[in-house]
Amino acid sequence: MAYGQTGTGKTYTVGQLGKEDPSERGIMVRALEHILSSMSLETDSMAVSYLQLYLESVQDLLAPEKTNIPIVEDSKTGEVSLPGAAIVEIKDLEHVFQLLQIGETNRHAANTKMNTESSRSHAILIIHLQRSLKIKEENTVSIPSDAEHTLPGDLPLVLKSKLLIVDLAGSERIDKSGSEGHMIEEAKFINLSLSSLGKCINALAENSSHIPTRDSKLTRMLRDSFGGTARTSLVVTIGPSARHYSETSSTVLFGKRAMKIVNTIRLKEEVDYETLYKKVEDEVDHLTSEMERQQKLRQREKMQLEKRLKESEAFLHDLKMTSTMQIENLEKEKHQFEYAIKRLMQELEEKEGQNNVLSEKIVHLETSLNEKKQQQLESFSTTQILSETTKAHEKKVGELLRQLEEEKSRSASMKGHFNVLEQQLSDAQSSAQFQENTARELKRDLSKVTEIFTNQVHSLEGRISQLMSEKELMYKELKSAQANVQDEARRRQSLEAEVVRLKRSKTDNCAEEIRIWIR
């Protein structure tokens, strides 16, 4: 804040632009330039409002159509705000020059005997700074089932700060400045607000329990700075002329009193409930989509398992039918082979009986032959006949023996084939038993998967219901806070209207007294 007599260089010190020569830049430009060089585009933001207090009316220098802007004070935090004032976000230093140039163009100034461009209003540049503290990164793929991320340690915090740069209009005596007409009204309001500022500084320096900040709109706008929680710098300007000794002495005394004020800086942190609300809402949406995806996945897996079970059941049924048919065929073949074996055994027994008969005949014939050989040695022709008969009988006996061997080999081969068929029948029965065991295992796995899926769905539904209840509770708290703020705003507006009415009556009385004193 710059304080001093008119014409002593307050506006030059505070509001000089210095676009051509950086060394000529004032405090406003230098402060904004320093903040821009220290900001991080990811977490920091800066916006400005440029106002003037003219004839006890707050006007917007960036939007001149906005006049008589109300001043709102928060009873809990003591923070002062001006709803309706234009707040412009700063992009770069060139943007700063443009805004300050617009503000200086719209500011009231006049030519007096003490200053060719005397400021007729108090100019206040309000710089709003905000920094979002980084919170823990969270995995966007796997959402935890508990609520760890909503603990106080992970709440999204916002650091807010406000820098006020005030270029006060200079105090003046009407006989020295030569003010006439409307300029007298301007000087009256300037001196009135500066007088209220001096009273506040005196009360703060003396540690008074009451600080008269409501005596003027200037002190009301600076109330949160007067509360002792902000770092304050005061620039006091004086003139070198001995003609203005009394004004210089008063200005130095003002600065001396201000130096006695002790401020305690306070860190201001706020929970960013809007970001937290969006975060919880995003998590609810993510959990809902994740639950739907899990349900679709489980449904797809269930359908696949049911399809596999149906295929296994169909395969098992086909296998049973095939095994039954094979068993029936094998049984039929077995009965046929048994019947064939019995028939062959009967034939074999018949052949053996015939062979025994033939053997007996052969023995009998051999005996007869020997007898005939002994009896008919004399007849050569008879001998030849006997020899031929013997050979024929021997040939017939050999054929009968060969047939007997063939029947024996056929019987052995039939027995081996019967053994192979019995082995195939036992393998088919073991395969059918294995298929039945596989079907039972598939049914048991399906029941387990269905139970796990049901438990997971219940868990996700419980989590979503919990988050939705937290969301509704937070929404109700926000609504309640907004309603309280609106009630406080209406109550303050009514009080301000009453104060304005009282001040106007007091101002009229003061004006009448000043006119009487001037006369």
**Which residues belong to the annotated binding site for ATP?**
4-11
Which parts are annotated binding residues?
4-11
How far apart are the C-alpha atoms of 500 and 507, rounded to whole Å?
Answer: 10
- Token look-up 């053997």 returns 359
**Helix (H) or strand (E) segment spanning residue 2:** strand 2-4
**Helix (H) or strand (E) segment spanning residue 183:** helix 182-205
Q: Is the CA virtual torsion 241, 242, 247, 248 positive or negative?
A: positive
CB 421 within 8 Å of CB 333: yes
CB 120 within 8 Å of CB 108: yes
DSSP 8-state class, residue 188: H
Q: Is the CA virtual torsion 243, 247, 250, 255 positive or negative?
A: negative
How far apart are the C-alpha atoms of 272 and 449, rounded to whole Å?
Answer: 43
Q: What is the DSSP string of 332-345?
A: HHHHHHHHHHHHHH
How far apart are the C-alpha atoms of 470 and 283, rounded to whole Å?
Answer: 12
- Contacts for 365-369 with beta carbons within 8 Å, 24 or more apart? 365/390, 365/393
| One-letter identity of residue 224 | D
CA nearest to 100, candidates 50, 174, 34:
50
Q: What is the DSSP string of 247-290?
A: HHHHHHHHHHHHHT--------EEE-HHHHHHHHHHHHHHHHHH
Residues 6+ apart with CB under 8 A from 149: 136, 138, 279, 283
What would you report as the CA-atom Rg of the chain, rounded to the nearest whole angstrom? 59
SS3 label, residue 146: coil
3-state helix/strand/coil string of 361-380: HHHHHHHHHHHHHHHCCCCH
Angle made by CA atoms 323, 329, 334, in degrees to the nearest 5: 120
CA nearest to 178, candidates 104, 242, 116:
116
How far apart are the C-alpha atoms of 357 and 320, rounded to whole Å?
Answer: 53
Q: Please give the span between the terminal C-alpha atoms of the chain, in angstroms, as a whole number.
A: 35
Q: Is the CA virtual torsion 489, 197, 168, 100 positive or negative?
A: negative
In this structure, how many other beta carbons lie within 10 angstroms of the beta carbon of residue 26? 20
**Helix (H) or strand (E) segment spanning residue 166:** strand 157-167
Distance of CA 296 to the CA centre of its chain: 22
